Amino acid sequence: MSADPRLLLADLLRTALASVAPDHAGVSITLERPKQASHGDFSTNLALQLAKPLRRSPRDLAALLMAELPASMLVAKVEIAGAGFINFTLATAAKTAVVGTVLAQGARFGRGADTGVKVLLEFVSANPTGPLHVGHGRGAAYGASLAAVMDFAGHAVSREYYVNDAGRQMDILALSTWLRYLALFGIEVPFPPNAYQGAYVVDMAGEMRSAHEARFAKCTAADVLAGVTDVAADKEAHLDGLIANAKRLLGQDYLWIHDFALTEQLGDCREDLEGFGVAFDTWFSEKSLFDTGLVARAVAELEKRGHIYVQDGAKWFRSSSFGDEKDRVVQRENGLFTYFASDIAYHLNKYERGFDRVIDIWGADHHGYIPRVRGAIAALGLPPEKLEVALVQFAVLYRNGQKAAMSTRSGEFVTLRDLRTDVGNDACRFFYVLRKSDQHLDFDLDLATSQSNENPVYYIQYAHARVCSVLAQWGGVARDLLDADAAQLASERELGLCARLAAFPEAVQSAAADYAPHQIAFYLKDLAGEFHSWYNAERMLVEDEAQMMARLALAAAVRQTLANGLALLGVSAPSSM
RNA sequence: GCGCCUGUAGCUCAGUGGAUAGAGCACUGGCCUCCGAAGCCAGGGGCCGCUGGUUCGAUUCCAGCCAGGCGCGCCA
């Protein structure tokens, strides 16, 4: 017999079932916590499920099951209700035992047993071509919270950021920086409209001048523009022409600028994320996939397996044979691999590292990408079901009731850093995960800043601070609360709080299984609400010593659970505010 | 056109094959000589987009329609 009421009840029901309907002994028994207190602590629809196969009325079946149910000290009452539900009311001692459990386990309360499942969680992975904006913030908050939740649920989680350091976007950034730098020396090349406009590019140019003076300014504007397509004719070709000239004119120095810009932006990004409480175990370089030959190997492997054909000089992956709507180019006519090719290699690498589950968190705009990546995995002979893609809808920022633009290239964006400064990390992290990730999120900056005291995060933190305050006034030793007699807890609110605490480990498991950290946020809101309600109804610092200790122990258990939950969301649990 | 997401209270959103569908905001009225009023208590407010199907039971699952958002490059 288990001490966990849920498992205990399942055992009891299974025993009863074996005698009532031995043929159906294998049926899965679900026990849920009823929404209504009058329906007891746990409820099962077992009789309703079996009514049809056994050709008996649900209520009759429920009565039979109830009659065969072994007695238990932990069960106070069993009732048949409604259409045929069997409702269980636990003995008070079984309900209040959780207080001691929480206090004894402390920060570990709610943590699931080690599952041994190795999970790779890749998220953010924004191009290091400029500051993170509020859209990236959501992916960061969601990914970090999900990683924490899955880790807490018992999985071995690796957090990874894929650095797109090999593509054209990085070349555009390097070019942009160089052009700004040249301008500092009076070499005025018209700045392309589709280059990176942001002030941070000018800042980097300034740093280059400080450190290297005129080292990279040994050419004229005419050199830079030599043979370049007119911007009015084709602005993308114009950009590519400038990049080609930059590479030719600068030689090895081009790589220096490229790497400088990359290091600066990636460092900025990393610092920003760390400030946001978002940490990674690995920063995985796209470029390394080319350097180690993995991209070529991945494409060769597809070719060997007969999934590649050549058309118009390019190599195409026959992804349409693997569920994609059409075939995709992996190697262009000019010999360069596409982004898709390096992504195939990246996923091959992820699989080769031996994870049980590979989770990609992508912006919802990438959803069309899923079939081709999954298809490539299948084509490589790997199990595609190991890959799971969690799509995060974009966060749309509203300011003065209007959408705020968020294009990195135009330079007109609201950065994550600005948002964090205005709103604060705690409210930001909480706000981001308050919505289901696949829902559009309207982030109202005016509301979040001017009326931040209305943010639900404060409601939860306030509950935590209140407990801290009461415990401070009590002034005793926290350890003594472990010896409190929980049987002193008898009111409906107190028992309700105990049930809520007992549900925390289940909330963690559910949030992990559904990839839904917002469930933790809602759990915490409920827990804080029930605490505030109790706090206003009953005093803790009462004359009766035993009662006071029991109530303080419950309060301390609430505080611990709030802290554990907030930690999963990356939100602080202040002792005063 | 095709694909994905969404439609629940005035607004922003949870939720569930099951019992009387919830919260916050907003609105109305109460509660600080009393552990923190960033709190609590009470009240109004709903064809859970529409139609059909599966089911003992559908707001939930399936199909079709209506409405909104996003995505559909030899870009990344």
Question: Do A170 and A70 fall within a single domain?
Answer: no
Characterise A393 by phi-psi region: left (phi > 0), alpha (psi -120 to 50), beta (else).
beta
CATH number at residue A134: 3.40.50.620
* Alpha-carbon span A156 to A356, nearest angstrom: 10
Asked whether residue A405 is assigned to any structural domain, the reply reads yes
pLDDT per residue as tens digits for the range A206-250: 999 999 999 999 999 999 999 999 998 888 899 999 999 999 999
Question: Do A67 and A162 fall within a single domain?
Answer: no
Question: Do A43 and A185 fall within a single domain?
Answer: no
Asked whether residue A388 is assigned to any structural domain, the reply reads no
Cβ neighbour number for residue A31 with a 10 Å cutoff: 19
Q: What number is the ipTM of this complex?
A: 0.94
Asked whether residue A362 is assigned to any structural domain, the reply reads no
Please state, rounded to an integer, the average pLDDT across all residues of chain A. 90
| Closest nt to residue A48, judged CA to C1' | B56
Token code pair at residue A261: 């810009």
CATH number at residue A79: 3.30.1360.70
Range of the domain at A538: 453-568
User: What is the spatial distance, in angstroms and rounded to an integer, between the CA atom of A4 and the C1' atom of B43?
Assistant: 40
User: Closest by alpha carbon to A526, among A552, A563, A501?
Assistant: A501
* Alpha-carbon span A82 to A51, nearest angstrom: 14
Cβ neighbour number for residue A306 with a 10 Å cutoff: 10
User: Closest by alpha carbon to A516, among A416, A436, A406, A452?
Assistant: A436
Asked whether residue A491 is assigned to any structural domain, the reply reads yes
Q: A114 — phi, psi (to 5°)? A: -55, 125
Query: Which pLDDT value is given to residue A212?
Result: 95
Asked if strand B comes closer than 7 Å to A454 Cβ, the answer is yes
**End position of a domain, from candidates A385, A418, A449:** A449
Asked whether residue A379 is assigned to any structural domain, the reply reads no
User: What is the spatial distance, in angstroms and rounded to an integer, between the CA atom of A394 and the C1' atom of B50?
Assistant: 29
User: What is the spatial distance, in angstroms and rounded to an integer, between the CA atom of A377 and the C1' atom of B63?
Assistant: 32
Please give the tally of structural domains in chain A.
Answer: 3
| Closest nt to residue A49, judged CA to C1' | B56
How far the first Cα of chain A sits from its last, in Å, is 45
Question: Do A438 and A471 fall within a single domain?
Answer: no
Query: Which pLDDT value is given to residue A410?
Result: 47
CB distance A459 to A168 below 8 Å: no
Q: What is the dihedral of CA A49, A54, A56, A59, to 10 degrees?
A: -30
Question: Do A127 and A244 fall within a single domain?
Answer: yes
Question: Do A201 and A239 fall within a single domain?
Answer: yes
Question: Do A264 and A411 fall within a single domain?
Answer: yes
Question: Do A472 and A435 fall within a single domain?
Answer: no
* Confidence band, pLDDT 50/70/90 cuts, at residue A411: very low
| Closest nt to residue A367, judged CA to C1' | B4
Question: Do A429 and A462 fall within a single domain?
Answer: no
Query: Which pLDDT value is given to residue A282?
Result: 96
Query: Which pLDDT value is given to residue A287?
Result: 94
User: Closest by alpha carbon to A88, among A19, A24, A38?
Assistant: A38
Asked whether residue A574 is assigned to any structural domain, the reply reads no
User: What is the spatial distance, in angstroms and rounded to an integer, between the CA atom of A574 and the C1' atom of B62?
Assistant: 48
Question: Do A153 and A261 fall within a single domain?
Answer: yes
Question: Do A141 and A239 fall within a single domain?
Answer: yes
**End position of a domain, from candidates A402, A424, A449:** A449
CATH number at residue A483: 1.10.730.10
Asked whether residue A295 is assigned to any structural domain, the reply reads no
Question: Do A468 and A407 fall within a single domain?
Answer: no
Report yes or no on whether pTM surpasses 0.90: yes
Asked if strand B comes closer than 7 Å to A304 Cβ, the answer is no
Asked whether residue A464 is assigned to any structural domain, the reply reads yes
**End position of a domain, from candidates A429, A449, A469:** A449
- Per-residue pLDDT averaged across A524-531, rounded? 95
